[in-house]
Amino acid sequence: MGTIVLDPVTRIEGHLRIDTRVESGAVTEAWSRGEMFRGFEVFLSGRDPFDAPVITQRICGVCPVSHAVAACRAVESALDISVPRNGQLLRSLVLGANYLQSHVLHFYQLSALDFVNVAALLEYDGSDPVLRELKAWAQGEVSSGKILPAAPFLPQMTGQYSADPKWNLAALSHYVEALEVRQEAHQMAALFGGKMPHTAALIPGGVTTGVEPEAVEDCRTRLRRVRRFIENVYLGDVLAAARLFPEYGAVGGGVRRFLSYGVFEEGDRDWLPSGVVEAGKLSPLDTRRISEQVASSKYAGSGGQHPLQGETRPEPHKSGAYSWLKAPRYGGAAYEVGPLARMVVAAAAGHPQVTATLNGFLADTGLEQQVLFSVLGRHAARALEALLVAQRMETWLERLEVGAASVGTYTPRPGGDGEGLTEAPRGALGHWTQVRDGKIARYQAVVPSTWNFSPRGDRSDPGPVETALLGTPVDEQGQGLEVARVVRSFDPCIACAVH
């Protein structure tokens, strides 16, 4: 029996350590350890509730829009503020643009290098400008920054990578193109959000930028470029990875329980629905069943608390605790959240676009539905969702009304309790607040990676990633590349997850 430790896990957001116990070439136990404490909930106390969207966006530079939306919804719920239709559509457009940049970032800049053999390209004879730049960079020359920005391509972890030089070179070229596509998506978000990465226009009650015809057309033009990249490059690269590494269609299954809060406001409902799926059966979401457990977390307290009553009291030397992440549970059980969860919930609910896209993908590839519950399935779900969101953003642009209000009226109220639910690119995001005498009395944020990377709960049950790692075949003499592939398929955002 041996161990493999990844510390720190690189190419993620935040500080994460993964410990595994290995026996007979497979992982038999795993521990997910969030390695820092931030405490946003603590310093939100006593602030004006309208500060919440501004402050909570600083939880993350990758998915700030989701925090702005969740905070706005929490304050709106607490203070009974309505959002006009234009405000809802503008929020969905800004959030949708953030989804697109985040999904593209995850595959190309964070995960693809687990599969691309960059080192082999140094021996490959070709005239591609990206290849020339890579070789110059590897030889110690300063990158021009015009073709291949300086990036941590080498050294790579030891392990089995693709032996196909054409795939390796294409994926590296697409890495560069993806940076430009992400910039387009950021600019789309800034058109209506005021700026990025932290928006200035999303407030409780709506979006202050309003609807200008020039901005609408600018967004539509940029969206079409991003959509072409998703259709012509991103989806193809995910399928190519699936063909080159078919074994990862049977690795990383996880808890097989899925939860979604619903996302993208469209009138009185969200375009992607809420719900929970267990054993293939869909049930309505009941947020009263959510608790945050801390038996293995470095926080004071005992027993699971609903976030509206939750506390954030750090206890760094707590006996038996090994992570700065709490352990969210739904009905006492661990649930996976994220793009795969959203697709599973939406398909179970009979969502027409999601069902058609998933069925078409499976038919075109000849893959079994079970492949979705794997490392490759998570990558595929993320790419398919990017396509679906890009398509739906066209509809939201068409529904905007020039000259109509985008911010609702507000009648001051001294207090109330609020719940703000949405979906970040990485999964279910909830903000809960209590407002008393015009100030925040309590605030709790439960984010996607807190769900997915949670430590063991009160019943010593492992979290979703800890479960997904069980049974993963590994090279016991290696550095843990196989473990890293499973972990990164969840797109960790640990700066969000720690409190």
Establish whether the linkage from the previous residue to 53 is cis, with ω within 30° of 0: no
- Which one of 32, 33, 227, 496 is the catalytic residue? 496
- Residue 356's H or E segment, with its range, is helix 352-365
Does 426 participate in catalysis according to the annotation?
yes
The SS3 of residue 397 is helix
Does 496 participate in catalysis according to the annotation?
yes
DSSP 400: -
Cross-strand pairs, 443: 433
Which spans in 329-417 are helix H?
339-348, 352-365, 375-399
- Which one of 38, 63, 184, 329 is the catalytic residue? 63
Does 60 participate in catalysis according to the annotation?
yes
Which spans in 208-250 are helix H?
213-229, 235-244
Per the CB < 8 A criterion, the answer to whether 292 and 327 are in contact is yes
d(CA 177, CA 171): 10
- Which one of 392, 426, 431, 456 is the catalytic residue? 426
- Which one of 33, 38, 60, 260 is the catalytic residue? 60
Angle between helices 165-193 and 213-229 (to 10 degrees): 170
- Which one of 323, 449, 454, 489 is the catalytic residue? 449
Does 91 participate in catalysis according to the annotation?
no
CA 246-248-254 angle, to 5 degrees, is 145
For 179, the token pair is 């940076």
For 89, the token pair is 């559509």
The SS3 of residue 396 is helix
- Which one of 182, 482, 493, 499 is the catalytic residue? 493
Per the CB < 8 A criterion, the answer to whether 173 and 130 are in contact is yes
For 37, the token pair is 């404490």
d(CA 138, CA 411): 61
Does 266 participate in catalysis according to the annotation?
no
> Which residue shows structure tokens 């998570």?
378
C-alpha distances in Å from residue 132, one per residue of 114, 135, 136, 149? 22, 5, 6, 13
Q: Which residues contact 428 (CB under 8 A, 6 or more apart)?
A: 259, 260, 261, 337, 341, 421, 446, 448, 451
Judging by DSSP bridges, how do beta strands 206-207 and 257-266 pair with one another? Answer: unpaired
Does 323 participate in catalysis according to the annotation?
no
Does 219 participate in catalysis according to the annotation?
no
Does 13 participate in catalysis according to the annotation?
yes
Kindly write down the DSSP assignment for every residue of 167-189, as one continuous string. HHHHHHHHHHHHHHHHHHHHHHH
- Which one of 32, 38, 41, 67 is the catalytic residue? 67
Select from 356, 344, 363 the least CA-distant residue to 388. Answer: 356
Residues annotated as part of the active site = 13, 60, 63, 67, 426, 449, 493, 496
